[in-house]
Amino acid sequence: MGAIEKMEWPKDKLEVLLLLEENDQETIDVARSMNLPEFVKIIVVPHSFPKTKPKACNYGICFARGEFIVIYDAEDIPDPWQLKKAYLGFKKSKSSVLCLQAKLNYFNPNQNILTRLFTAEYSLWFDISLPGLQSINTSIPLGGTSNHFRTKDLIDLKGWDPFNVTEDCDLGIRLFMRGFKTAIIDSVTLEEANSNFKNWLRQRSRWIKGYMQTYLVHMRNPLNFLRQNGIHAFIFQLVVGGKIASMIINPLLWVTTIAYFTLNQYVGDIINSLFPTWIFYIAVVSLVFGNFLFIFYYMIGCAKRGHTQIIKYVFFIPFYWVMASMAAAIAAYQLFVKPHYWEKTHHGLHLIPAKNRGKIKKIFNKWVLGNYVYKEIINIKRKLQLFKNIKKIFIFSFGKIKLFAILADEFARKNGKKIKEFKFKKELFSFDYLLEKLKFVNFNKINNKIEKKINLINNKHVKFIFKNLFRFTFSNKGVILSAIMISNFINFIFNAFLTRKLSYSDLAIVIFITTIWYVVTVFIGGVSATINHKISYLTAQKKYGTAKSFLKRTLLRGSLVVVFLVVILTILSPILSKFFKIDSFWILLLFSPAILLGFLASSFSGFLKGNLLFGLSALIIITESVTKLFFAILFVILGKGDLVYLSVPLSLLAAFLVGGVIIYNLLKDIKGEEVSKENYFPFNFFFSSILATLSYIVFLSVDVILVKHFFSEEIAGQYSIISLAGKMVYFLATLPLIFLITFVSRKEGLGESSRKVFQMTFLSVLILVSVGVFIFGFWGFFTVPFLFGQKALSIVYLLPIYCLAVGIFALSNTIVTYHLAKKQYLFTYVSVGASLVLINLIWFFHNNDIGEVARLFLIVSWIDFAVLGIFHHLENHLSSLRRSWRDFLGIFINELPKTKPEIRTAKRILIFNWRDITHSFAGGAEIYIHQLAKNWIKAGNHVTIFCGNDGKQLRTETIDDINIVRRGGFYMVYFWAFLYYIFRFRGKYDLVIDCENGIPFFTPLYVRKPIFAVLHHVHQNIFFHSLPRPLALIASFLEKDLMPLVYRKIKFITVSQSSKIEMEKLGIGKSGIEIIHNGVDLKQFILGDKSIYPMVLYLGRLRAYKSVDVLIRAFKRVIGKYNEAILVIAGRGDAEKYLKELSDNLGFKKNQIIFKGKVTEKEKIKLLQSAWVLVNPSFMEGWGVVVIEANACGTPVIASNVKGLCDSVRNNESGYLVPYGDIDCFADKIIYVLENSEYRHRLNLEARKWAENFNWENSSKKFLSFIDSDLAKENLLNKE
137: CB partners within 8 A, 6+ apart:
181
Q: What is the distance, to the nearest Å, from the Cα of residue 698 to the centroid of all Cα atoms in its chain?
A: 32
Domain co-membership, 482 together with 460: no
Question: What pLDDT, on the 0 to 100 scale, is given for residue 760?
Answer: 86
Alpha-carbon span 841 to 860, nearest angstrom: 9
**Whether residue 595 has pLDDT greater than 90:** no
| Rounded-to-integer distance, Cα 269 and Cα 274, Å | 9
Task: Return d(Cα 426, Cα 503) in angstroms, integer.
Answer: 66
> Residue 39: inside a domain, yes or no?
no
- The last residue of one of the domains, among 850, 879, 908, is 879
Report d(CA 288, CA 426) in Å as an integer.
62
HEC assignment per residue over 1081-1149:
CCCCCCCCCCCCCCEEEEECCCCHHHCHHHHHHHHHHHHHHCCCCEEEEECCCCCHHHHHHHHHHCCCC
Average pLDDT over residues 358-370: 38
For 954, residues 6+ apart whose C-beta sits below 8 A from its C-beta are 966
Average the pLDDT over 59-82 and give the result.
Answer: 91
127 and 165 both lie in a single domain: yes
CATH number for 122: 3.90.550
Do 443 and 327 reside in the same domain of the chain?
Answer: no
* Domain coverage including residue 782: 476-879
Same-domain status, 483 and 595:
yes
Q: Specify the DSSP element, H or E, that contains 1052.
A: strand 1051-1054
pLDDT digits (tens, 9 = 90+) for 623-667: 888 888 888 888 888 877 777 778 888 888 888 888 888 888 877
- Confidence label for 978 from pLDDT (cuts 50, 70 and 90): very high
Task: State whether 1129 and 1044 are in the same domain.
Answer: no
Same domain, 940 and 1026: yes
Q: What are phi and psi of 1073, to 5 degrees?
A: -130, 125
Whether residue 468 is found in the same domain as residue 482: no
pLDDT tens for residues 369-382?
333 333 443 444 44
38 located within any domain: no
The confidence score (pLDDT) of residue 220 equals 85
- Which segment of 84-98, 251-265, 328-342 scores lowest on mean pLDDT? 251-265
Tell me how far apart the alpha carbons of residues 128 and 1239 are, in angstroms, rounded to a whole number.
75
Cβ atoms of 1015 and 1052 closer than 8 Å: yes
- Distance of CA 1032 to CAs 613, 827, 999, 1204, Å? 53, 37, 11, 22
DSSP state of 1016: S
Please check whether residues 436 and 483 belong to one and the same domain: no
Instruction: Please say which residue of 879, 914, 939 terminates a domain.
Output: 879
Q: Once rounded to an integer, what is the mean pLDDT over residues 279-285? A: 79
Of 179-183, 539-543, 1250-1254, the poorest mean pLDDT is in 539-543
- What is the reported pLDDT for 1167? 94
- How many domains does one find in the chain? 5
Q: Count other Cβ atoms within 10 Å, centred on residue 34.
A: 11
Averaged over 720-742, what is the pLDDT?
83
d(CA 711, CA 882): 45
pLDDT of 802 over the 90 cut: no
Nearest to 112 by CA among 195, 204, 40, 188: 195
Q: Kind of pairing, strands 68-70 and 147-150?
A: antiparallel
Is 406 a residue whose pLDDT tops 50?
A: no
**Average pLDDT in the 284-293 region?**
80
145-181 pLDDT, tens per residue? 999 999 999 999 989 999 999 999 999 999 998 889 9
Mean pLDDT of the chain: 81
- What residues contact 1082, with CB distance under 8 A and at least 6 apart? 1192, 1251, 1252, 1255
- 392 SS3 class: helix
Last residue of a domain, one of 821, 845, 879: 879
What is the arithmetic mean of pLDDT over 5-34? 88
How large is the average pLDDT for residues 239-258? Answer: 87
How long a stretch of residues is the chain?
1280
The sign of the dihedral angle between the CA atoms of 660, 662, 664, 667 is negative
Per DSSP, 754 falls in state: -
- What mean pLDDT comes out for the span 78-103? 93
Q: Give a yes or no: residue 859 inside a domain.
A: yes
pLDDT at 1026 (0 to 100) = 66
pLDDT tier, 576 (very low <50, low <70, confident <90, very high otherwise): low
Per-residue pLDDT, 1279: 52
Within-domain flag for 437 = yes
| Nearest of 555, 36, 508, 121 to residue 300 by alpha carbon | 121
Q: Is the pLDDT of residue 430 over 80?
A: no
**Which carries the bigger pLDDT value, residue 954 or residue 509?**
954
Whole-model pTM: value is 0.48
Question: Of residues 717 and 1187, which shows the higher confidence score?
Answer: 1187
- Both 689 and 595 in one domain: the answer is yes
| Same domain, yes or no: 566 and 700 | yes
Please compute the mean of the pLDDT values over residues 674-682 and round it to a whole number.
Answer: 64
- The CATH code of the domain that includes 1210 is 3.40.50.2000
The DSSP string of 592-645 is TTHHHHHHHHHHHHHHHHHTT-HHHHHHHHHHHHHHHHHHHHHHHHTT-GGGGG
Which one is predicted more confidently, 436 or 270? 270
Report which DSSP code applies to 774: I
494 SS3 class: helix
Confidence of residue 573 (pLDDT cuts 50, 70, 90): low
Three-state SS annotation for 978-997: HHHHHHHHCCCCCEEEEEEC
Mean pLDDT of the 1074-1101 span: 91
Q: Is residue 1265 part of a domain?
A: no
DSSP labels for 283-303?
A: HHHIIIIIHHHHHHHHHHHHH
CB neighbours of residue 766 within 10 Å: 16
Mean pLDDT of 3-18: 90
Kindly state whether residues 862 and 942 are assigned to the same domain. no
Residues 212 and 314 reside in one and the same domain: yes
What are the residues facing 991 on neighbouring strands?
909
